[in-house]
Structure 1
């Protein structure tokens, strides 16, 4: 479910679960392990990439709906664990988004230091409200810190997925390039960053990202229980069933 590509001191962790890198507990657990292991394996920077046309379509909803209560809770917990691992990585992480990045895909990207997205009709955002879910405050914080409070409110309340040009304009991504070059641009960005005095760069980075790490660390089991209550509500279940039906067509 993952492929590891080494570019000298920069390691690329590529999501590899066709066709759209839908996130399962197993994939997210593997991603967390890979991110946490990379620095000990010599990585001074990490590229997080996905597939062509789709970085990740977010959580695998049909799979989640097949799980019992304990499995469902563990499944959602795995998303937060992977997000925390990326956010707390001691080395910088650049997201290479060669396509769509909705919902959970956007969450993972927002935890990275820098986001490079493919130019074109590709969309990114947190669209949870469209299926009756409330993005927890820890996730909303990720959006607020990159696009600002008011713009985050508009995007979160509507559940809008924006195309790459608009994502760049509002700061949701940092750079656009052709789809086939996103990983190369991420590599170049990290290489330039690693030319800086390492101790000062990494210490400054840790201070600047402390709010991100703290927000994700503040999300506890009680918060997850509240989120799952929403998941199990009749209105949300009806919206999720409709989503699964659309996916099956």
Structure 2
């Protein structure tokens, strides 16, 4: 793997995004994400996963320069890679924790919301979903992940408000499970407890909780994909401006 490091030990795999400077999600990163989550889901030696970012950022989201360089013929391949990566993360059947210790913006925030346990670190960084502010539509898989992770008021504020927030503000919206000075250690402690319990019961409960979202993700139409691409192409000029500001 070029951009994702997997550190395994004690039945837990730590998935570390490492694409300087802000762990932006290029098509290559998305392909690696899909491969990693699928492989770890099938590996009986891995009982749970922790996702974190290298450096001071989980991820600032998609590589918008790469997206902006794509035309109508090139976009479907990128979108397929996005759907595969986030679909694999959201369908991961084992305990999954995310440690947010730096910027988690757009796709970075969505990745954290795939987790069963989100540890938000206290710090001077931003979390948010600013897609609509620059005209980027939500892919169906991202929309359903956010809807599953957020209570309705937080969903409306994050998606339709399209602003960046401090981690404390996001935690006050009831998004995330703990707010602390040591998010990675908190995530590891939760995983140690969750992974020590019977795996089949956890898998069944997680599948039950996410079943309706999975069904909605699996039901897009060709017309919806074309409308999405049209909206994305109309926002090309805005895509060249970094979401992190």
TM-score strictly above 0.5: yes
* TM-score normalised by structure 2 residue count: 0.90
CA-atom RMSD in angstroms: 2.1
The structure-2 alpha-carbon separation of the partners of 1:221 and 1:46, relative to structure 1 and needing over 3 Å to count, comes to: farther
SS state at 1:224 partner: helix
The equivalent of 1:39 in structure 2 is 41
How do 1:140-219 and structure 2 match up within 5 A?
140-178=143-181, 181-219=182-220
Which portions of structure 1, spanning 4 or more consecutive aligned residues, are displaced by more than 3 angstroms? 219-222, 244-247
The equivalent of 1:85 in structure 2 is 88
* TM-score normalised by structure 1 residue count: 0.88
SS state at 1:209 partner: helix
Match of 2:20 among 18, 29, 46: 18
SS state at 2:59 partner: coil
Worse overlay, 22-31 or 66-75? 66-75
Match of 2:135 among 128, 132, 137: 132
* Partner Cα separation in structure 1 for residue 104 and residue 52 of structure 2: 11
Higher helix share: 1
SS state at 1:135 partner: coil
- Asked whether 1:223 is paired with 2:229, we answer no
SS state at 1:55 partner: strand
State whether residues 123 and 164 of structure 1, in contact with CA within 8 Å, keep that contact through their aligned partners in structure 2. yes
Distance apart, 1:58 and its partner CA: 0.4
* Partner Cα separation in structure 2 for residue 34 and residue 164 of structure 1: 27
Paired positions, count: 242
SS state at 2:202 partner: helix
Distance apart, 1:137 and its partner CA: 4.9
Return 5+ residue gaps in structure 1 as ranges.
Answer: none
The equivalent of 1:57 in structure 2 is 60
State whether residues 25 and 62 of structure 2, in contact with CA within 8 Å, keep that contact through their aligned partners in structure 1. yes
* Partner Cα separation in structure 1 for residue 121 and residue 186 of structure 2: 11
Return 5+ residue gaps in structure 2 as ranges.
Answer: none
